[in-house]
Amino acid sequence: MTTTLSGEVLVVDKGPRPSISSWGQTVALTGRSLRGMLRQGEFVLGIFAPVMLTICFYVPLRGIFDVLPGVNYAQFLMPVICLQSVGFVATSAAMRAATDGTVGITDRLRSMPIGPIIPMVARLCANIVLLLVSLTWALLSGLVIGWRPQLGVGNFLAFLGVALVIGILLALGADAIGVLASNPEATSQALALPQLILGMLSTGFVPESQFPEWIRPFARNQPISQFTELMRAFDQGGFTWDKAVAPAIWAVGIAVFALGAGAYITIKTARR
C-alpha cells in the first residue's frame, strides 16, 4: 500500500513472496562457504598441510626406523598423516565459524527466515569437501614415500572410513566451538595446542616402546593413538573387534560433545 501526492491510496499487489526450500538454502550457503574457502586459500592449505607433514616427519625419521627389522616407516606413518590432515580441517572449520561470528554474518543469518540448523549443516557440507581434498593429498603423499594399501579394497575402505568419520566428527565439534567462541584468535589457540600435544605424544610417529615408561599409558590410550592403531590394523593386518572398542568410545565421546553443542546452538538460535 502506498499514498500518492494527491492523497490517493493505491494498493500494490506484489504477489506471494517466493519461498526457498531448506535444501535450496543449504545449497546456497554451502556454495557461499566454498567460495569463501577458495578466496581464503583454504583448499591450497588443505593440499599443502598433508604434503608438508609427510616431508617433515618421514624424511628425518625414516633412517631410524628403516634399520629396525620388519618396520616400513611409510606404512607406519600413514595413519597419523591422515589424522593430522583431518585435524587441519577441524581447525579451519572452527576458524571460519568464529570469523563469521566476529564479522556479523552469524547474526545476520539468524535474522533471516532460515532454519536454525541450516547454516551449521551448510558449513559441515563445505568442511566435508575440504576434508576429502585434504585426505586425497594425504594418500597421494603416502604413495610417493612408499605406502601401499596391502590388504585389499575392503580393508582400504575401512582405513579411509575411520579417517572420514573422525574428520566429520572433529569438524562438527570444532565448528560448534567456533560459533560459541566467536573469537578466531582464542579458537585457534584452543585447538592448535591440544592437537600438537596429542599428536607428538601418540604412537602415530613412534612406537609405544620408544616413550619413557612413565608416559606410555597416556601415549597408548589417548584418542589419536587409538584411532591410529585402528587404522593400522586395517592397513597392515591384525584387526579384531577388541581393537575397535576404545576408538569407538572416543568417537562416541566426540560425537556426544559435537551434537550436544550443535543442539545447544540450534535451540539458542531458534529462541531469538
In this prediction, residues 173-183 reach a mean pLDDT of: 83
* Banded model confidence at residue 207, pLDDT cuts 50, 70, 90: confident
4 lies in some domain: no
- 12 found inside a domain: no
23-27, 187-191, 257-261: least confidently modelled range? 187-191
Instruction: Among 36-45, 87-96, 248-257, name the most confident range.
Output: 248-257
Does the residue 115 lie in any domain? yes
User: DSSP assignment of 102-165, as one string?
Assistant: HHTHHHHHHTSS--TTHHHHHHHHHHHHHHHHHHHHHHHHHHHHT----SHHHHHHHHHHHHHH
Domain span including residue 79: 21-270
Which residues lie below 8 Å from residue 54, measured CB to CB, with a gap of 6+? 77, 81, 138, 141, 142, 144, 145
Nine-digit cell at 111?
535474522
Q: Is residue 10 part of a domain?
A: no
Does an H or E element contain 2, and which? strand 2-3
Q: What is the pLDDT of residue 104?
A: 66
Q: Is residue 2 part of a domain?
A: no
pTM across the whole model: 0.87
Q: What is the mean pLDDT of residues 138-157?
A: 91
In a domain, 6, yes or no: no
Residues paired with 10 in a beta bridge: 2
CB count, 10 Å around CB of 143?
13
For 35, the grid coordinates are 567460495
Distance CA 88, CA 134 (A): 9
Reported as a single tens digit per residue, the pLDDT across 208-223 is: 888 899 999 999 999 9
In the predicted model, what is the mean pLDDT of the chain?
A: 83
Neighbours of 103 (CB within 10 A): 12
Domain total of the chain:
1
Task: Give 125's pLDDT tier (boundaries 50, 70, 90).
Answer: very high
Q: Which residues fall within 8 angstroms of residue 270, CB to CB, at 6 or more apart?
A: 116
**Are the beta carbons of 174 and 191 closer than 8 angstroms?**
yes
113: phi then psi, degrees, rounded to nearest 5:
-75, 65
Q: Is 8 a member of any domain?
A: no
* Residue 255 within any structural domain of the chain: yes
Please give the share of the chain, as a percent, with pLDDT higher than 70: 83
